[in-house]
Amino acid sequence: MTDVTVVGSGPNGLAAAVTMARAGLSVRVLEAAPTAGGGSRTSELMRPGYRHDVCSAVHPMGLASPFFRDFGLADRIRMEVPEASYAQPLDGGQAAVAYRSLERTIQDLGPDGNAYKRLMGPLVRHSEAITRTLMDPLLKVPREPRSALRFGLAALDQGTAAWNRRFSGEAAPALLTGVMAHPVGQLPSLPSAGGGLLLALLAHTVGWPVPVGGSQAIADAMVEDLLAHGGELESGVRVDSLAEVSGSRAVILDTAPAGLLRMAGGRLPARYEKTLRQFRYGNAACKVDFILSGPVPWKNPAVAAAGTVHLGGTRTETAAAEAEVAAGRHPGEPYVLLSQPSSFDSTRAPAGHHILWTYCHVPAGSNRDMAGEITAQIERFAPGFRDVVLETRTTTAQGLAAYNENYVGGDFGAGAVTLGQMLRRPVLSPSPWQTPLPGVYLCSASTPPGPGVHGMGGYHAARLALKDVFGLPVPALGPAAGSS
């Protein structure tokens, strides 16, 4: 008999598996795909020697997440941290850049620099406390209430119709809007402001690192630790029913609520099942990968120094594009999230060549190829971009859903990021990872703290299972702890 079976080897599933194995339990991870990683896989999607991140690409939570800090991820893999975390180009060759140095960012924002400082300065000073609070259950009393209050007030400032009140120019609000548009949804909103401000404060503290070798390095580090502590990983194994894993004392599912419903086969209490069926999935993404003969010819050279670029123009333009998606339409000038990892990691492409990772938001279930619109947005801020494109590969929203069952309709966040669903993810409970079935836990991005490669959903589920099923304390996770 295996003590613990984990279904799904995304970052949350692997975080749960590592935690349980470190506690001395026998752990088996079952993954339907041929390789581990879920949202942190890297693959040669088009040509040999060109390594593309299949889903996530840049990882501030890899340095800031309480799980990854305890796990010592920064000591296990190499990560390049650009001095410029992200940039927001504007027309006419202008650009706003979020540097790791808050002071440099403020200086470059001109007249709005002081307003940006008043917003972000207190958050940056209390970054660690805020991050830990946001990674905890929302119903838990914050360990540092003052820091939580500061963050809440900042989210109110940028999450409502009054979000422009402190700014007079275009650069600072555009810079903030680019990072707030990461979750798919209308702008402004409290969830988008909260998520964006967290990412922004990390940009000015730990930075936005690019894992050398690709995001796969994160999953590989966790798999290596799991195997070193006696765990097993079986790939190419699809679990269709909980009956298939009934021999385990605890089962942890790195699946969306739809996956739990499918595997439970009617065993869930009616009220809980109804709640899962009412869980809302959000709009989606269309991802386009590029192989380039050279770097992107950005009109403003400062943009080339950023690991991540947000393309959408002004705050008004970005909000309008997101409103189109919310209305079920494909925007003609979409908000584009772009990563240029080969500018910082030479292992991603042959010498002189580059890869480019991009996506834009689209309505759920879309099968539309947005390569043309994405290319046009890049060309808008990098004239001549088309001349360096050697090859493209599009993954539509339907393609994302086929790639990963958790991405229902192409929703890579595994659930709409709304205020209601941040409280009920997927249920309103101080322990939302616990299901009504004894020993069965849910740990995907459909649970708190939501989307992102942070491992916290898995860590929280594992902590509950250790306490409730096995009566064991949470083990040490660092590289030197309990090594075999």
Tens digit of each residue's pLDDT (9 = 90 or more) over 171-183: 999 999 999 999 9
Looking at the domain assignment, is residue 24 inside a domain?
yes
Q: Say if residue 203 is in the same domain as residue 232.
A: no
Tell me, yes or no, whether 149 and 175 share the same domain.
yes
By residue range, what is the domain housing residue 339? Answer: 76-209+283-403
Asked if residue 53 belongs to a domain, the reply is no
Where residue 138 falls among pLDDT bands split at 50, 70, 90?
Answer: low
Q: How confident is the model at residue 482, as a pLDDT?
A: 45
Look at the alpha carbons of 103, 106, 107, 113 in this order and tell me if their dihedral is positive or negative: negative
Token pair in block for residue 127: 């970054």
363 three-state secondary structure? coil
Residues 134 and 258 in one domain: no
- Residue 86 resides in a domain: yes
**How high does pLDDT run on average in the chain?**
96
Collapse the DSSP code of 297 into the 3-class scheme (helix H, G, I; strand E, B; otherwise coil) and give the result: coil
Q: Same domain, yes or no, for 347 and 325?
A: yes
Taking the C-alpha atoms of residue 50 and residue 41, their distance in angstroms, rounded to an integer, is 14
Q: How many structural domains comprise the chain?
A: 2
- 269 and 221 assigned to the same domain: yes
pLDDT of residue 139: 62
Residues 232, 205 share a domain: no
Q: Are residues 181 and 196 in the same domain?
A: yes
464 within a domain of the structure (yes/no): yes
Sequence-ordered list of residues with C-beta below 8 angstroms from that of 460, at least 6 positions apart, any chain: 137, 433, 443, 447, 448
Contact 394, 369 (CB under 8 A): yes
C-alpha 92 chain-centroid distance: 31
Residue 481 lies in a domain: no
Q: Which residue has the tokens 């006696």?
A: 230
What is the average pLDDT across 69-90? 98
Q: Structure tokens of 220? A: 């590989």
Shared domain for 311 and 342, answered yes or no, is yes
Among 408, 195, 442, 464, residue whose Cα is nearest residue 283: 408
∠ at Cα 399 (398, 402), nearest 5°? 90
Mean of the pLDDT values across residues 252-268? 96
Q: Are residues 275 and 287 in the same domain?
A: no
Domain-embedded: residue 58: no
CB atoms within 10 A of CB 394: 16
Do 188 and 296 lie in one domain? The reply is yes
Domain CATH number, residue 235: 3.50.50.60
Is pLDDT at 215 greater than 80 in this prediction? yes
Say what the pLDDT of residue 483 is.
Answer: 42
- pTM, whole model, 2 decimals? 0.96
Domain final residue, candidates 367, 384, 403 = 403
pLDDT of residue 143: 78
Whether residue 70 lies inside any domain: the answer is no
Alpha-carbon span 411 to 365, nearest angstrom = 9
pLDDT confidence bin for 484, thresholds 50/70/90? very low
Residues 274 and 422 occupy one common structural domain: yes
Residue 70 confidence class, pLDDT cut points 50, 70, 90? very high
pLDDT at 80 over 80: yes
Is the per-residue pLDDT at 247 higher than 70?
yes
464: part of which helix (H) or strand (E)?
helix 456-465
Longest Cα–Cα distance in the chain: 65
- Domain C-terminal end among 380, 403, 426: 403
Residues 192 and 310 in one domain: yes
Q: Which of 378, 403, 428 is the last residue of a domain?
A: 403
Q: What is the pLDDT of residues 325-351, one digit of tens each?
A: 999 999 999 999 999 999 999 999 999
pLDDT, tens digit, for every residue of 282-314? Answer: 999 999 999 999 999 999 999 999 999 999 999
The CA-CA-CA angle for residues 456, 461, 464, to 5°, reads 125
Angstrom distance (rounded) from CA 310 to CA 184: 14
By C-alpha distance, which of 458, 403, 307, 343 is closest to 43? 403
Q: What is the CATH number of the domain that holds 138?
A: 3.90.660
Q: 46 in a domain, yes or no? A: no
